[in-house]
Every structure is written in C-alpha cells, then in structure tokens.
C-alpha cells in the first residue's frame, strides 16, 4: 500500500498546495476542501505512486469569500509540465502532463478520471466555465491528466 499524499507541486506554475484526504459529499459529488489554497486527494482512488489507476486530486478554481484557488493555475498548464506529489513517508512521485480537457459536470463520474486500473496517472480536477448561478454555478470541470514518470 502506497503512502498518502501530503502536498502537490506544479513547479512551472508556482503551485504548492497541501493535500487533504477527501471522500464523498452528501450530494454524491467528490468532497473538495473548503479552503481553495488546499487540494483534496479522493481517498477512494489509488494513492499516487500506485502501480495502476487514476490518483485523483481535486480543488476549487475559486471560492466565494476566499478568492482564487490554487488550481486556477490549471488553466495555464501545458503538455510536459511536471506535477510532483509529496507523500507521508517523505518520498515524492513525479508525473508529466499528457492532456487537458473540459468535461461536463454530469459526465465526469462516467469519464476515465476515476478509473482504478490501467496505467498509473495523476488526474487533477477543478471547475471550469461557464458559471451560471441559476444552474448551480460552474457547468464543467477542467481535467488534467499526467503520466507517472518511472523512477
């Protein structure tokens, strides 16, 4: 069993964020830390560094009363960018961004983002526009996939 993540670093974008373990909210969606300067590892996904599956980290793009979230930077991510996950045992797992796409909120659960098998990847998820208050806020998710770099 792999150690749990404690930090996320996106070096080119200047992102450093603490990671909290999160689960499922009462509405059936993935929990997201209230503080937009923190991100959440979906604890029902494989831990970063696992041999297979998608390790999912989520965070706010912004939050009322708090301002912009650290994952607003995903709007500037490029293929090849490094993503580093720090773990409880002091080790790190490095990934390289391979894709960035927009997925409708209703389609996210059925997408490949939450797969438990296949090649090991890190999946970073935040909200994406349009923002429609009368329809509950952001209508889409920005999903960034990064492949694990072999040690």
Asked if residue 151 has pLDDT above 80, the reply is no
Can you read off the two tokens belonging to residue 129? 């526009």
**17 phi, psi to nearest 5 deg:** -140, 140
Look at residue 90 in the predicted model and tell me its pLDDT: 96
**Where in the sequence is the domain holding 95, given as residue range(s)?**
5-148
| pTM for this prediction | 0.95
For residue 91, the domain's CATH number is 2.40.260.10
- The pLDDT confidence band at residue 109, using thresholds 50, 70 and 90, is confident
Banded pLDDT at 9 (limits 50, 70, 90): very high
Nearest-angstrom CA–CA distance, 148 and 150: 6
pLDDT exceeding 90 applies to what percent of the chain?
80
- For range 83-91, the mean pLDDT: 97
Q: Based on the structure, what is the number of domains in the chain? A: 1
Least confident of 20-29, 41-50, 93-102: 20-29
In angstroms, what CA-CA distances link 18 with 27, 41, 151?
Answer: 25, 10, 23
């Amino acid at each position: 069993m792999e150690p749990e993540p404690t930090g996320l670093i996106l070096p080119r974008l200047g992102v450093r964020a603490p990671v909290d373990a999160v689960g499922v909210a009462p509405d059936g969606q993935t929990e997201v830390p209230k503080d937009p300067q923190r991100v959440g590892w979906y604890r029902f996904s494989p831990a970063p560094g696992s041999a297979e599956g998608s390790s999912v980290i989520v965070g706010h793009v912004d939050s009322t009363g708090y301002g912009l979230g650290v994952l607003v930077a995903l709007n500037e991510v490029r293929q090849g960018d490094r993503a580093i996950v720090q773990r409880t045992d002091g080790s790190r797992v490095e990934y390289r961004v391979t894709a960035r796409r927009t997925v409708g909120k209703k389609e996210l659960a059925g997408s490949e983002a939450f797969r438990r098998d296949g090649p090991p990847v890190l999946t970073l998820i935040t909200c994406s526009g349009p923002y429609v208050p009368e329809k509950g806020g952001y209508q889409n998710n920005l999903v960034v996939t990064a492949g694990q770099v072999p040690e």
